[in-house]
Amino acid sequence: MSEAKNIILVGFMGSGKSVVGRVLARLTGSSMVDADAELVRKAGRPISQIFQEDGEPAFRELERSVIRDLCSQSGKVIAAGGGSFVDQDNRNLMLANGQVVCLSARPETILQRISRSQGNEKQVGNAPVRPLLAGDDPLRRIKELLAQRAESYAQADYTVETDELTPEQVADKVLELCRAAEKVPEI
């Protein structure tokens, strides 16, 4: 019997990957792995500190090794970091080892959600949870990065627009899409 495929959530910061991932894990009875949390555990430092001390290329290298590890597993719900699917090697690995669902949201929704998440469990001291959005015009930065990444995100197997949905509703949609894709056609 073939092993259960992973469900891999990709998409921009604040699109709800971690929250939806937890709901999906509960609904499917599988375990959820958060790639950023794995990376922080492996590095022994928070993401903001890795960016600050070693720079983004070093962070991306670590991210690639975490994605390689996670993609060698099966039957998991994986919440990937927002930039990981931009890397071609990561993208190929994820598409080959799971059903990849991109969660999308409007820039304004993203800004609202990430402003709320300052101070959550990902925050360490006063460091920004998401160093790529630090600065005085985060909305402009979100729009720029979304434009740069649009082509990569479009390569996911499916996209779910999340603006008007609760995490539970998003998770239901993700499951519906994944289950429909796995259905063997009747002969």
Q: Kindly list the strands in the beta sheet with 77-79, ordered across the sheet, starting from the edge strand earlier in the chain.
A: 32-34, 77-79, 6-10, 98-104, 158-161
Which helix (H) or strand (E) element contains residue 159?
strand 158-161
Closest distance to ligand S3P from the beta carbon of 127 (Å): 11
**Residues binding ligand S3P: number (CB under 6 A):** 10
| Main-chain phi, psi angles of 106, to 5 degrees | -70, 155
User: Nearer Cβ to ligand S3P, position 4 or 115?
Assistant: 115
User: Nearer Cβ to ligand S3P, position 47 or 174?
Assistant: 47
Distance CA 53, CA 56 (A): 9
Residue 175: beta bridge partners?
Answer: none
Extract the tokens encoding 14. 């604040």
Site string for ligand S3P, 129-168 (x = CB under 6 A): -xxx------------------------------------
Closest distance to ligand S3P from the beta carbon of 60 (Å): 8
Closest distance to ligand S3P from the beta carbon of 69 (Å): 15
Which residues between 54 and 73 bind ligand S3P (CB under 6 A)? none
Which helix (H) or strand (E) element contains residue 78?
strand 77-79
20 binds ligand S3P, rule: CB under 6 A:
no
Which residues between 73 and 102 bind ligand S3P (CB under 6 A)? 81-83
Distance CA 117, CA 149 (A): 22
Closest distance to ligand S3P from the beta carbon of 82 (Å): 3
Distance CA 93, CA 56 (A): 21
Q: What does the binding site for ligand S3P look like in residue numbers (CB under 6 A)?
A: 13, 17, 36, 47, 81-83, 130-132
